[in-house]
A and B are shown apart, each in its own frame.
Chain A
Amino acid sequence: GIQVEQSPPDLILQEGANSTLRCNFSDSVNNLQWFHQNPWGQLINLFYIPSGTKQNGRLSATTVATERYSLLYISSSQTTDSGVYFCAVRFSGGYNKLIFGAGTRLAVHP
C-alpha cells in the first residue's frame, strides 16, 4: 500500500551540528511538504517541494521524485530547531489528502 517512511525516528544533536532527515515514499507524488511541529503543537511550513531543491536560511530540502525520496538538511542547528519534523505527501492518481510520515523527533542541546 501507499506509505511514507521517515528516518531516523529520533535524533539528538549538539548545537552547531548539521543533520539530514530522510523521507521515503512508495509511489509518485504531486505534493510533498516538510513541516516542523514546535513544542506547542503548531505545524510550521518549511518547504513545498514535490521535486527539486530549495533553500531557506539554514534549512534546505531536496526531492528526487524518480527515486521516491526527499531529504531535509539542517545546518548549524540551534536549540530552537528542536521538535518533530514531518514529511507529508499527496500521492498521484486521484488522492486528495496529505499523508504524514511518523516524524523525526529532534532534540538540540546547548
Chain B
Amino acid sequence: GAVVSQHPSWVICKSGTSVKIECRSLDFQATTMFWYRQFPKQSLMLMATSNEGSKATYEQGVEKDKFLINHASLTLSTLTVTSAHPEDSSFYICSARVAGGPERETQYFGPGTRLLVL
C-alpha cells in the first residue's frame, strides 16, 4: 500500500522557537496533502489542506501565519510551527491522497510527529 513518512517523529523545543515537520509520500504522487492535529484522548482535527504549487486552505480557527504550510512538490509538504508555545504541544499527523487509480479518494496517513514545547 501507499506509504507516507514524517520527520521528525519527536520534537522537544523551547518556547518561541520554530519547528519544521516534513511529510513525504514515498511511493506515489499526492496532489493534495492534509495536516491534522490530535490532542490526547481526542479525535483528529483537520488544520489545513495543501495542493501542490498553490496556497494552503486553512480550517476556521487555524492561524495561517503561525502554521506555515508549503507543498513544493507532488511528494513533499512541510508544516512549520512558528514561535511555538506550550499550547501548540500536540500530535501532528499528515495525510496524502492518492492521485488516480481505483481508490483515488483514499487518504493515507503518516506516523505523526509529537511536539512538546517547554
Residues of A within 8 A of B (CB): 30-31, 33, 35, 40-43, 45, 48, 50, 86, 88, 90, 96-103
| A43-B93, A97-B46, A98-B46 known; A90-B105 Cβ under 8 A | yes
Number of B interface residues, CB 8 Å? 23
B44 / chain A contacts, CB cutoff of 8 Å: 43, 86, 88, 100
**Interface contact A48-B103, CB-CB below 8 Å:** yes
Chain B residues, Cβ within 8 Å of A50: 105
With A96-B32, A96-B49, A97-B46 as given contacts, are A45 and B1 in contact (CB-CB < 8 Å)? yes
Is chain A's binding surface mostly helix, strand, loop or mixed? Answer: strand
A100 / chain B contacts, CB cutoff of 8 Å: 43-45
Evaluate contact between B43 and A97: CB separation under 8 angstroms.
no
Q: Are B105 and A101 in contact, CB atoms less than 8 angstroms apart?
A: no
